[in-house]
């Protein structure tokens, strides 16, 4: 399976990046064909963290299978869980209480900020700036603390259940989120000063790794990667779920489709997420946090598809039920998988050093790709 | 395009398709022979323009396999599902990776996990599993006493 390091008959060099490499942020293995410093071809080899979650889900109950999805895109655990809970709710035709809907969106947007913040630190580190990583983790830590209090976990929250959320929010939730909003508002301009306006950063990212709109659509790119190329693919807008149709926020769409554009989209999305949280934090309605459900869930025979916008893009759950206690088939449409398929096309002709910058801007999470 | 209008247009371009409107989006079941031409048509026809293949997968129904394509249009925002029944013993279907390039990876995944052969695929190899893996793990009759833990 692993191609040996060597040269092609055209004199091109074949090298392996990963599966253990700091720039791939996980066990991604790329076989790269190089002509001098120019990348001719990138071939991803997947499966190093494949756990066959789809197969596992076929033997788990409708309450249990949701937990496995926290381990896919672990930076968007809440949003993945939300999609699964919604698929079951669609099948059961469950009405989710308003309080739970608001909590779900609040948690989802906090997750998005935490994910984008981590990406921002990691992306800067990929390019050679180490300090932003510490700034990023300072703010991310605040979100993790909020999650820990309400959900009982910092990373794999498993907080969304069919019908609502597992527990009510912690009494400190409101105060802590308010503190976070104040802190993040103060610090975001610093982020821009540190990286966005940095001459070296701009030189490394502008015009690098351009993905055209047509290609982005054809490769099924979504999330900030798709939007930077001008595709309006924010599921929160194009196919609103939860209470997103009642919220005031913008879909950030770039034009250039280069690495810098992907960077800018995420930076602005953090501000939009903050804006959503500000709208909701003082308006959490009273009431139940979970709808009344039977102890054992049986989804009626049929097919259900739920789509959400994770920090990485269009995450879909295709649930096929035969009316039994477990799903007959589950397919997770992960955004990273489709985004990765566009990587080869994007990096061809670029320099090897830019590969790391481009990969950073794609924001790949490997467990999300392998599933 | 509304669901009704979409069904009308599809009845015109694919008269043999079996329509199912039970789900969220209209489902059209077509034959494996009709699919390649239909795929090209719905991708390029001006009033359809299904340019975004957001999900491609397969379901093992024990008697047959069903390929499931979730398509939407970024221009018109309509969505539909196309299903193609395949023989379980020798599942063969034409690739759509030349129409929607995202299909290249998705088809490789279906190839290794379900054993579907995609004719015309540019690079049909295992993507996730090791090269020496035998059997198709996502099929219902797949048994693996070592790697599979049954609850």
Could you read off the pLDDT of B129-142 as tens digits, one per residue?
888 888 898 888 88
Question: Among A233, A329, A370, whose Cβ lies nearest the Cβ of B128?
Answer: A370
Spatial strand order of the sheet with B18-20 comes to: B18-20, B27-30, B79-87, B64-72, B52-60
| Beta carbons within 8 Å of A210's beta carbon, 6+ residues apart | A256, A257, A258, A346
Among chain A residues, CA nearest to B69: A318
* pLDDT at site A152: 87
| Beta carbons within 8 Å of A162's beta carbon, 6+ residues apart | A62, A63, A66, A85, A88, A89, A92, A94, A293, A297
Architecture of domain A49-370: Orthogonal Bundle (1.10)
* pLDDT at site A4: 61
* pLDDT at site A1: 43
* Interface predicted TM-score (ipTM): 0.88
* pLDDT at site A272: 92
Quote the tokens at residue B24: 């969220």
- Helices A352-362 and A259-281: crossing angle in degrees, nearest 10, is 20
For strand A29-35 and strand A38-45, is the pairing parallel, antiparallel, or unpaired?
antiparallel
Question: Among A45, A218, A316, whose Cβ lies nearest the Cβ of B100?
Answer: A218
- At A333, give phi and psi (nearest 5°): -90, 100
Which residue reads 């939860």 in tokens?
A242
Q: Does domain B3-88 have CATH number 3.30.460.80?
A: yes
Q: What string of pLDDT tens digits covers the 371 residues of chain A? A: 445 667 777 778 888 887 877 777 778 888 889 888 899 889 888 888 888 888 888 888 898 888 888 888 888 899 999 999 999 998 888 889 999 999 999 999 999 999 999 999 998 888 888 889 899 999 899 999 999 998 888 888 889 999 889 888 899 999 999 999 999 999 999 888 888 888 888 888 888 889 999 999 999 999 999 999 999 889 998 889 989 999 999 999 988 889 999 999 999 999 999 999 999 999 889 888 888 888 888 888 889 999 999 999 999 999 999 888 889 999 999 999 999 989 999 998 888 888 888 988 988 888 888 88
Residues of A with CB under 8 A from a CB of B: 1, 45-47, 50, 52, 54-55, 59-60, 90, 215, 217-220, 222, 231-233, 238, 302-305, 307, 314, 316, 318, 320, 328-329, 331, 333, 337-338, 340-342, 345, 370
Three-state SS at B82? strand
pLDDT interval class at B17 (50, 70, 90) = confident
Determine which of A223, A307, A329, A343 to mutate to test the interface with B (most B C-beta atoms within 10 Å): A329
The structural domains of chain B, with segments of one domain joined by +, span 3-88
* pLDDT at site A262: 92
Residue A223 φ/ψ region, left for φ over 0, alpha for ψ in the -120 to 50 degree band, beta for the rest = left
Which run of H or E residues covers position A207? none
Quote the tokens at residue A233: 């693919």
């Amino acid at each position: 399976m692993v191609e040996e390091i060597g040269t092609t008959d055209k004199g091109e060099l074949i090298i392996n990046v990963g599966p253990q490499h700091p720039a791939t942020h996980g066990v991604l293995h790329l076989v790269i064909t190089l002509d001098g410093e120019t990348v001719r071809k990138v071939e991803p080899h997947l499966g190093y963290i494949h756990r066959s979650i789809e197969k596992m889900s076929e033997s788990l109950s409708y309450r249990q299978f949701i937990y496995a999805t926290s381990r896919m895109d672990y930076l968007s655990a809440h949003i993945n869980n939300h999609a699964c809970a919604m698929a079951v709710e669609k099948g059961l035709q469950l009405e989710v209480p308003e309080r739970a809907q608001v909590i779900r969106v609040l948690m989802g947007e906090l997750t998005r900020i935490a994910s984008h913040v981590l990406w921002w630190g990691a992306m800067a580190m990929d390019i050679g700036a180490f300090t932003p990583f510490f700034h990023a983790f300072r703010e991310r830590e605040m979100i993790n603390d909020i999650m820990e209090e309400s959900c009982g976990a910092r990373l794999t929250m498993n907080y969304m259940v069919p019908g609502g959320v597992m527990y009510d929010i912690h009494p400190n939730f409101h105060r802590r989120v308010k503190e976070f909003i104040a802190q993040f508002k103060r610090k975001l301009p610093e982020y821009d000063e540190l990286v966005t306006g940095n001459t070296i950063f701009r030189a490394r990212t502008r015009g690098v790794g351009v993905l055209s709109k047509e290609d982005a659509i054809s490769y099924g790119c979504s999330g900030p990667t798709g939007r930077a190329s001008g595709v309006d693919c924010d599921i929160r807008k194009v196919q609103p779920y939860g209470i997103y149709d009642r919220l005031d926020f913008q879909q950030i769409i770039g034009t250039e489709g280069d690495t810098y554009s992907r960077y800018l989209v995420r930076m602005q999305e953090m501000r939009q997420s903050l804006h959503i949280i500000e709208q909701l934090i003082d308006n959490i309605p009273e009431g139940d946090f979970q709808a009344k459900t039977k102890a054992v869930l049986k989804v009626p025979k049929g097919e259900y598809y739920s789509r959400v916008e994770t920090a990485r893009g269009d995450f879909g759950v295709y649930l096929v039920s035969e009316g039994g206690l477990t799903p007959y088939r589950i397919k997770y449409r992960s955004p990273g998988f489709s985004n990765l398929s566009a990587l080869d096309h994007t990096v061809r002709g670029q320099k090897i050093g830019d590969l790391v910058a481009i990969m950073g801007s794609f924001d790949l999470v490997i467990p999300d790709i392998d599933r | 395009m509304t669901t009704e209008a979409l069904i009308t247009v599809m009845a015109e371009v694919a008269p043999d398709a079996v329509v199912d409107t039970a789900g969220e989006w209209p489902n059209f079941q077509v034959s494996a022979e009709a699919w390649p031409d239909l795929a090209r048509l719905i991708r390029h026809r001006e009033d359809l323009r299904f340019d975004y293949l957001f999900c491609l997968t397969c379901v093992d129904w024990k008697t047959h396999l069903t390929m499931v394509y979730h398509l939407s249009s970024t221009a018109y925002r309509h969505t539909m599902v196309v299903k193609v029944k395949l023989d379980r013993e020798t599942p063969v279907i034409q690739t759509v990776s030349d129409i929607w390039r995202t299909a290249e990876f998705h088809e490789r995944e279906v190839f290794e996990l379900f054993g579907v052969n995609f004719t015309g695929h540019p690079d049909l190899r295992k993507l996730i599993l090791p090269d020496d893996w035998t059997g198709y793990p996502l099929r219902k009759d797949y048994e693996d006493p070592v790697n599979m833990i049954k609850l």
